[in-house]
Amino acid sequence: MKLALLSVTDKTDLIPFAEALQVKGYRLMATGGTQRTLSEAGLDCQPLETLTGFDALFEGRVKSLHPKVHGGLLGLRDQATHQAQATAHNIPWIDLVVVNLYAFEHALKTPGLTDLERLEHMDIGGVALLRSAAKNHRYVTVLADPGDYEATLEAMDAMGDVPDSLRRTLAAKALRLTAAYDATLAYYLQPEPFPNHLTLTYKKVRPLRYGENPHQAAALYVDTSQDHGGLAAADVLHGKPMSYNNIQDAEAALAILHEYDKPCVVAVKHMNPCGIACAPKLLDAWQKAHAADPVSIFGGIVALNGTVDIRLAEAMHPLFLEVILAPAFTAEALALLKKKKQRRLIQTTSAAPSSHVQSVSIQGGLLRQQTDHTLYETLQCVTHTVPDAELLACLAFAFKAVKHVKSNAIVIAKDDQTLGIGAGQMNRVGAAQIALSQAQEHAQGAVLASDAFFPMPDTVEVAAKAGIRAIIQPGGSVNDHESIEACNRHGIAMVFTGTRHFKH
């Protein structure tokens, strides 16, 4: 008779699965709470202690760590010496293992727990069972996910036993689980962003229809070890699930939105803002953001940091927008915006981004850096013309915007509204010309923000011709004096931040 060992925290579908195993001739053995659950359901299930001869020790810390358990998992059934040792030590072969682990991730998110209380949720025996069974998967079926019970039973019905290919797949799944579990524990013990050995663990949320383009496969994963808020915690109130490009653009929009405290609206296309505006009322901010670039916003992503009411919904509804993200929608607004089936409505959390490290894959490796959460450390006016408090606020608005534009980047802004955005150009004066041409006559009296220093004074010259009043940029070029002299000739105020914001 085959032997199944069960030890689970998640008891989803446990009883019907165990019943099916018994029907198929398996003898059941289980640990503690799992054994009680099965016995109370009327199943014949032996406690693990009948095999080991030991009660659980140290308040349950040691239950399954025993030679009779791991010998029954690791022994090679086709080797005579292993068979002889198993017989000599009265070790039965274990043919199927059902294990899932203590919910350490849940303990991490549970408020009020001490460090010692959280560490009590570190699973030792379960991880060992999964690894032993996975190593010997030629003979042992290992199940770490209740979602695999049905497929396993169907394979048994169709083939008389679990086929080798499925056992190998299940073993790989179990090892991915233990790897993720260990990575979460290691990060909890020491949250080092740049360790010598980096193990990142994410859980698959869903496959995506495709990636950036239809010929690229893609999927969405979430970091389950921490509550990051943002898109990972957002609720889809209407429309199809977001695509790969939608998610990228929405993430960019939310990152920009978190820069501003006032009621704010951000419109994004291809991960670059096409309109950013703040105002005392969210409806006014929407109108300004739309007016900033009424062409590019078509088919874009819009994020707001306040409640979308019916008046705001009526203003947005006529326009084709792929995604609208907001922390709340009134019932009337939601009913109206839902009338367009292709539109996605996403309710976001208000939490600021908590991720402090970014990772980018490269061929054969990974780049990892601290997230750019700094706007600037200091402001230094370097020109004869000194900006007043109102102009400084306008410069800060523009610098917050240019921080999130692909380099080389220039932003023209006035009155808490972007007027022109030059993104992703190979030279800085080219980016300035694009931004100024978009702003047109509205550039008169506006401010200009640059993500990096001016290597020569040409950007100042084109800004002066357009009527720019003030400039904010990091400074740091060996030719800074040329740009400063040009500003002084034209009566333009210029402020250095000392902080560059390249974005690739």
User: For 72-82, how does the pLDDT look when each residue is reduced to its tens digit (9 = 90+)?
Assistant: 999 999 999 99
Contact 170, 141 (CB under 8 A): yes
Q: Can you give 192-247 as a three-state secondary structure string?
A: CCCCCCCCCCCEEEEEECCCCCCCCCEEEEECCCCCCCHHHHCEEEECCCCCHHHH
Q: What percent of the chain has pLDDT over 70?
A: 97
Distance between CA atoms of residues 293 and 175, nearest Å: 50
Amino acid identity of residue 232, one-letter, is: A
Amino acid identity of residue 72, one-letter, is: G
Handedness of CA 56, 58, 60, 64 (dihedral sign): negative
pLDDT > 70? residue 230:
no
- The residue behind tokens 């250095």 is 496
Token reading at 216: 């690229």
- Non-local (6+) Cβ contacts of 120 within 8 A are none
Which carries the bigger pLDDT value, residue 355 or residue 428?
428
Q: Can you give 47-82 as a three-state secondary structure string?
A: ECHHHHCCCCECCCCECCCCHHHHHHHHCCCCCHHH
Contact 219, 204 (CB under 8 A): yes
Which carries the bigger pLDDT value, residue 124 or residue 208?
208
Angle formed by the axes of helices 80-88 and 67-74, nearest 10°? 160
pLDDT > 90? residue 32:
no
Contact 129, 66 (CB under 8 A): no
pLDDT > 70? residue 225:
no
Distance between CA atoms of residues 97 and 484, nearest Å: 73
- Non-local (6+) Cβ contacts of 452 within 8 A are 407, 408, 428, 473, 474, 500, 501, 502
Position 353 confidence tier, pLDDT thresholds 50, 70, 90:
low
**pLDDT value for 424:** 94
pLDDT > 80? residue 352:
no
pTM of the model: 0.86
3-state DSSP percent of the chain in helix, strand and coil, to 5: 40, 20, 40
What CATH number labels 214-347? 3.40.140.20
3-state secondary structure (DSSP) of residue 404 = coil
Position 188 confidence tier, pLDDT thresholds 50, 70, 90:
confident
Position 169 confidence tier, pLDDT thresholds 50, 70, 90:
very high
What CATH number labels 2-189? 3.40.50.1380
Mean pLDDT of 451-471: 97
3-state secondary structure (DSSP) of residue 498 = coil
Distance between CA atoms of residues 291 and 483, nearest Å: 31
- DSSP conformational letter for 347: E
Please name every residue paired with 358 in a beta bridge, in sequence order, or none if there are none.
369
Mean pLDDT of 277-289: 98
Token reading at 407: 């380099």
Tell me whether strands 218-222 and 203-208 are parallel, antiparallel or unpaired. Answer: antiparallel
| Phi (first) and psi of residue 502, to 5 degrees | -60, 140
Position 409 confidence tier, pLDDT thresholds 50, 70, 90:
very high
pLDDT > 80? residue 161:
yes
Annotate 80-95 with DSSP letters as a single string. Answer: HHHHHHHHHTT-PPP-
Listed in order, the ranges of the chain carrying CATH 3.40.140.20 are: 214-347, 380-496
Which of the following CATH numbers is that of domain 380-496: 3.40.1710.10, 3.30.450.20, 3.40.140.20, 3.30.70.1450? 3.40.140.20
- DSSP conformational letter for 250: H
pLDDT > 70? residue 140:
yes
3-state secondary structure (DSSP) of residue 440 = helix
Distance between CA atoms of residues 297 and 266, nearest Å: 10
**Measured between alpha carbons, how far is residue 129 from residues 39, 64, 143 in Å?**
22, 8, 11
Token reading at 6: 């069960």
- Catalytic residue positions, numbered: 135, 270
Q: Can you give 354-395 as a three-state secondary structure string?
A: CCCEEEEEECCEEEEEECCCCCCCCCEECCCCCCCHHHHHHH
Position 277 confidence tier, pLDDT thresholds 50, 70, 90:
very high
Listed in order, the ranges of the chain carrying CATH 3.40.50.1380 are: 2-189
Contact 302, 329 (CB under 8 A): no
**Measured between alpha carbons, how far is residue 308 from residues 90, 268, 305, 347 in Å?**
70, 18, 9, 10
pLDDT > 90? residue 472:
yes
